[in-house]
């Protein structure tokens, strides 16, 4: 991590963060010096990138091959009708860059099909956040993060249910350990999705990312957090390494 010191303008802009005991000046400098990769700019990634960028993280890799469609606008609130048909990575880059001029965004608009492809993207990242909606892609990202020993935060929303899982190191249960029996999933186009729940999970992913960078502590390591948006309940399921996991077992 290349350490960035705060100037007078930064001290004013990030003053509300700096007042927080768990962040302070040192924590804000860590945020400003960090690199984060976000896979997926759909419902989760759309709002997530806004909080990640405005929190002070200067280097962000955006990965999404999709274009904006009208059905996205219900929950992907950084898009508008004029963006329909455009690549999501291009729209988000313009949206963020117009508000934060000192941010370094790298865009990747090819579909992720292999671990080496993902490994190249995340090679210098401090945190990787997975907001994709496909189990096969999530497993590729999980494998790449294991190989590169990167902290991975995974978020998902389907229907009224949201999930968050964090893998902080190669000693943590990986995504494959937790979801080893799942081969595929249904998309939100088949199951529907509660728009405000997407915003809630996005915010929680951003908070988890900020906390890990500033305090080196995770709220969701070794546990799967399940949010029920219909009954407004949150449950935790403890996770453990699968000794037969094809990714992280010896």
In whole angstroms, what is the distance from residue 21 CA to residue 215 CA? Answer: 10
Residue 218 in tokens? 């995770």
Per-residue pLDDT band at 2 (split at 50, 70, 90): low
The pLDDT of 7-12, averaged and rounded, is 91
Among candidate residues 205, 217, 161, 220, the one with its CA nearest the CA of residue 50: 205
User: What percentage of the chain exceeds 90 in pLDDT?
Assistant: 83
Contacts of 93 (CB under 8 A, 6+ apart): 62, 105, 107
Residue 72 has pLDDT above 90, yes or no: yes
Q: Can you give the pLDDT at residue 3?
A: 57
Q: Does residue 4 surpass a pLDDT of 80?
A: no
Q: What are 160-197's pLDDT values in tens digits?
A: 999 999 999 998 999 999 887 654 455 555 678 999 99
The contacts of residue 25 (CB under 8 Å, 6+ apart) are 6, 11, 18
- As a residue count, the chain comes to 250
The pLDDT, as a whole number, for residue 183 is: 46
Average pLDDT, the chain: 92
Q: How far apart are CA 176 and CA 162, in angstroms?
A: 18
Tell the CATH topology of 34-238: Rossmann fold (3.40.50)
What's the predicted TM-score (pTM) here? 0.94
The pLDDT, as a whole number, for residue 76 is 93
pLDDT value at residue 191 = 73
Looking at the DSSP assignment, which residues form a beta bridge with residue 164? 155, 225
| pLDDT digits 0-9 by tens, 18-67 | 999 999 999 999 999 999 999 999 999 999 999 999 999 999 999 999 99
E strand or H helix at 67 = none
Surface-to-core class of residue 54, CB atoms within 10 Å of its CB (0-12 exposed, 13-18 middle, 19+ buried) = middle
Q: How confident is the model at residue 101 (pLDDT cuts 50, 70, 90)?
A: confident
**pLDDT tens, position by position, 76-98:** 999 999 999 999 999 999 999 99
Does residue 231 carry a pLDDT above 80?
yes
- Residue 188 has a pLDDT of 54
Residue 182 or residue 13, greater confidence = 13
Map out the domains of the chain as residue ranges: 1-29, 34-238
Nearest to 38 by CA among 93, 94, 114: 93
What pLDDT shows up at residue 184? Answer: 47
Q: What is the DSSP string of 3-62?
A: -----HHHHHHTHHHHTSTTTHHHHHHHHHH-EEEEE--SHHHHHHHHHHHHTT--EEEE
> What does DSSP assign to residue 201?
H
Question: Looking at the predicted structure, is the pLDDT value of residue 149 above 80?
Answer: yes
**Alpha helices for 149-224 (secondary structure H):** 175-178, 188-191, 195-215
């Amino acid at each position: 991590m290349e350490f960035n010191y705060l100037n007078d303008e930064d001290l004013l802009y990030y003053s509300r963060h700096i007042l927080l005991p768990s962040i302070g000046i040192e924590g804000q400098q860590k945020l400003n010096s960090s690199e984060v990769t976000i896979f997926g700019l759909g419902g989760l990634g759309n709002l997530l990138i806004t909080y990640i960028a405005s929190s002070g993280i200067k280097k962000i890799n955006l990965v999404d091959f999709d274009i904006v469609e009208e059905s996205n606008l219900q929950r992907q609130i950084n898009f508008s009708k004029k963006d329909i048909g455009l690549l999501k990575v291009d729209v988000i880059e313009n949206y963020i860059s117009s508000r934060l001029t000192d941010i370094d965004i790298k865009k990747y608009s090819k579909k992720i099909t292999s671990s080496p492809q993902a490994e190249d993207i995340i090679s210098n990242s401090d945190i990787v956040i997975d907001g994709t909606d496909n189990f096969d892609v999530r497993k590729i990202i999980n494998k790449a993060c294991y190989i590169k020993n990167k902290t991975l935060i995974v978020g998902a929303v389907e229907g009224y249910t949201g999930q968050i899982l964090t893998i902080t190191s190669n000693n943590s249960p990986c995504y494959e350990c937790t979801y080893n029996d799942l081969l595929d999933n249904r998309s939100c186009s088949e199951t529907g999705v509660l728009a405000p729940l997407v915003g809630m999970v996005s915010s929680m992913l951003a908070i988890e990312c900020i906390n890990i960078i500033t305090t080196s502590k995770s709220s969701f390591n070794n546990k799967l957090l399940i949010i029920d948006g219909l009954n407004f309940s949150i449950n935790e399921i403890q996770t453990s390494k699968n000794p037969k996991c094809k990714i992280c077992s010896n």
